[in-house]
Amino acid sequence: MSSILSKFDPTKLHNFWESNPQFNNIKIYKSLKAKDHTAKYLQSSKIMWAIAFFVEREDNRFIRSTEEERKTLISEEIFGSAFKWKEHTKLIEYWKKENKTSLERQLEALENYMDKRTILLENSANTITLENLKLADEAINRTTGLAERITKLKGMVEEEQSGKGEVHGGRVESLSERGII
């Protein structure tokens, strides 16, 4: 199954609604589209692409950036101007809640926390003194532990996304489903 972002073509005014018709029937997104009076719903389409690039991980060229950097990059590249993120908070939160598993949301929260810690450590590098050296060392050691937890959680998310061992209706996997025959 291809990701939502793999359908985005930056060389065209690629319509989100046409590429992802499954969103046309979701009440909150349907309402956004209904309020859009532009040709082919291009304004709401841009909003949906912005949200997709902000939230989705797969095929996302912005995902390695911090949330704030990502917002700026998406605003500039998709809108060519400032995007009013706060106006679309409910849409973003709904997307996260409905399209991400608990593990994915945990991973995202830890990565955002790690980004903030990294920025704090980078900014405090010039202010380390003998008095706060012990605190700085402890923060760095805790950051290493946090990075290990994030790596482990990423593995869990990847395993979850692979569908390995997942069957519906509580039945047992067949031999062919398990790859034995």
**Cα 55 versus chain centre, distance:** 3
Q: Which residue has the tokens 């050296």?
A: 133
CA dihedral 97, 111, 154, 103 (to 10 degrees): -30
Residue 122 has pLDDT above 60, yes or no: yes
Number of domains into which the chain is organized: 2
C-alpha dist (Å) from residue 1 to 65, 85, 118: 25, 29, 34
The residue-averaged pLDDT of 2-27 equals: 87
**Residue 81 forms part of a structural domain:** yes
The residue-averaged pLDDT of 55-73 equals: 92
**Residue 21 forms part of a structural domain:** yes
Residue 98 has pLDDT above 70, yes or no: yes
Residue 160 has pLDDT above 60, yes or no: yes
Q: Are residues 117 and 74 in the same domain?
A: no
Q: Are residues 17 and 88 in the same domain?
A: yes
Residue type, 73: L
Q: Identify the domain containing residue 83 by its residue range.
A: 1-99
In this prediction, residue 52 carries a pLDDT of 95
Q: Residue 7, Cβ neighbours under 10 Å: how many?
A: 16
Q: How many degrees, rounded to 5, is the angle at CA 41 between CA 38 and CA 46?
A: 105
Q: Which two tokens stand for residue 48?
A: 């949906």
3-state helix, strand, coil in the chain (%, to 5): 65, 0, 35
**pTM, to two decimals:** 0.74
pLDDT category of residue 121 using cuts at 50, 70 and 90: confident
Question: pLDDT tens digit string along 72-90?
Answer: 999 998 778 788 999 999 9
**Residue 175 forms part of a structural domain:** no
Q: How many degrees, rounded to 5, is the angle at CA 136 between CA 133 and CA 141?
A: 125
